[in-house]
Amino acid sequence: MRNLAVLTSGGDAPGMNAAIRAVVRTGLSHGLNLWGVYQGYSGLIEGNFKRLGARDMGSIIQRGGTVLGSARCPEFQTEEGRELAVRRLHGAGIEGLIVIGGNGSQSGAHALNQMGFPVVGVASTIDNDLYGSDITIGVDTALNVALNAIDNLKVTASSHRRALLVEVMGRKCGYLALMAGIAGGAEAIVLPEVDVAPEQIAQRIQDGYERGKPHAIVVVAEGARYNAEGLCQYFKEHGLLIGFEFRSTVLGYVQRGAAPTCADRLLGTWLGSSAAEQIIAGNTGVLVGTSKGEIITTPLTEVAGRQKPLPSWFLKAAEMLAR
Ligand code: F6P
C-alpha cells in the first residue's frame, strides 16, 4: 500500500483530532502517502481529498471537533453513492481508508469493505453504543461536560429547593445518562433501556422531598420514552406530586464540542495509530477498539447495526446508590 486516506464521519467527538493525527503520523512513519477526506462520506463522493503531511497535524491534539470536518450523508446510503465513492478513491490512487466514527459510520465502512475496498474503522462516538469497543473516543470528555453541568445544576437546585431534569445525549443508548447520573449523584436516572413509569419517577422524587432533600437531580437520556421536557409535561398534566418545583434543562451539543480530556487524547492516539498499523498489515474489514485495556479488532460484519449493552454492574448500582 502506498496511499492511505482517513475520514471522520457522523457526530464529531472530542479526541477525533488525536486519532487523525495518529493515523497520519503512523502512516507517514511507514513511508505511506496520507490523504485527508473532507466532510466525511460526502467528501468521499465529491472527491474532496487533500494530501496531509506531518505539519498539517501540528497543534490539533488539544482541539475538539475534527479538522477534517464531518457530515451525515444520506447519499452514501445508496448503492450509486457508494459506487461513486469507490471510483473517486480508485481515481486518486488511494488503496485503503480509515473511518473514524460511530455506528452509522461503521455501517458505511462495512458496506465499502463488502465492495472490496480495504477499510479499517476506529471506534469514535460520544454515545458509547458501538459494539466492538469497551469505550469509544469522545465519551470521557462528553461525560465530564455533562458532569460539570450537573454539579452546577445541583447548586442552583438546592438554593431554590427544585427538581431539575437534565437531558443528556446518547441517541438510543443510555450510557451517558447512566454514567453522568451515577458520577453526579443523581436522585433518578431515566434510560431507554429500562422502561420506568413516570409515576414511579415522581414517587422517588417525592420520597426524597419528604425525607428533607434540598434538591432532586434527574438525569434523562434523550432516547428514553419521555425526554426531560416530556417528563415535566407528564408530571403537570397528570397532577403528579413531586414536592419540589421543577424545571428541565437540555445539555445538547455542548457535550460534543469540548476540548478532549487527557483520556480521549490518549484513546484517540492509541486507536488511530493501531488502525494505521492494522491496515498496513492487511487486516482490513475490522473495527479497532479496546477491551479490558487491550487493543482488539472486531470484524465490521459483527459491528454494523449492533448496539452494545449497558454495563450491568452500573445499571444495578444506579438503583442502589440513589438514596
Ligand atoms: O451520535 C452522537 C450524537 O451526538 C447523539 O448523541 C445525538 O443523538 C446525535 O448525535 C445528534 O445528531 P446530529 O448531530 O445529526 O444532530
Distance, CA 11 to ligand 1 centroid (Å)? 5
Residue nearest to atom 12 of ligand 1 (CA): 11
Written as one string, the DSSP assignment of 35-67 is EEETTHHHHHHHT-EEEE-GGGGTT-TT-SS-T
Distance, CA 307 to ligand 1 centroid (Å)? 15
Q: Is 251 in the pocket of ligand 1 (CB under 6 A)?
A: no
Atom of ligand 1 nearest to the CA of 103: 1
Distance, CA 82 to ligand 1 centroid (Å)? 23
| Ligand 1 pocket mutation pick from 169, 220, 308 by most atoms within 8 angstroms of CB | 169
Report the amino acid identity of residue 118.
Answer: P
Residue nearest to atom 13 of ligand 1 (CA): 11
Report the amino acid identity of residue 207.
Answer: D
Cell of 174: 443510555
| Ligand 1 pocket mutation pick from 39, 103, 126, 143 by most atoms within 8 angstroms of CB | 126
- Taking CA atoms, 250 is separated from 55, 150, 169, in Å, by 39, 11, 9
Backbone angles phi, psi at 81, to 5 degrees: -60, -45
Domain extent listing, the chain = 3-138+260-303, 140-256
Residue nearest to atom 10 of ligand 1 (CA): 11
Q: Is 126 in the pocket of ligand 1 (CB under 6 A)?
A: yes
Cell of 75: 447519499
Name which of 23, 105, 25, 16 is nearest 66 in CA terms. Answer: 16
Distance, CA 294 to ligand 1 centroid (Å)? 28
Q: Which fold has domain 3-138+260-303?
A: Rossmann fold (3.40.50)
Catalytic residue positions? 127
Distance, CA 157 to ligand 1 centroid (Å)? 28
The model's pTM: 0.97
Superfamily (CATH) of domain 140-256: Phosphofructokinase domain (3.40.50.460)
pLDDT at position 321: 75
Instruction: Compute the distance between CA of residue 159 and CA of residue 155 in angstroms, rounded to an integer.
Output: 6
pLDDT at position 318: 84
Distance, CA 141 to ligand 1 centroid (Å)? 15
pLDDT at position 270: 98
Residue nearest to atom 14 of ligand 1 (CA): 11
pLDDT at position 241: 85
Q: Is 174 in the pocket of ligand 1 (CB under 6 A)?
A: no
| Ligand 1 pocket mutation pick from 16, 70, 127 by most atoms within 8 angstroms of CB | 127
| pLDDT by 10-residue block (mean), the chain, 323 residues | 97 98 98 98 98 98 98 95 98 98 97 98 98 98 98 97 98 98 96 95 96 97 97 96 94 97 98 98 98 98 95 88 70
What SS3 class is residue 290? strand
What SS3 class is residue 231? helix
Which residues have a Cβ under 8 Å from the Cβ of 17 and sit 6 or more positions away?
Answer: 60, 61, 63, 64, 65, 66, 67, 260, 268
Q: Is 15 in the pocket of ligand 1 (CB under 6 A)?
A: no
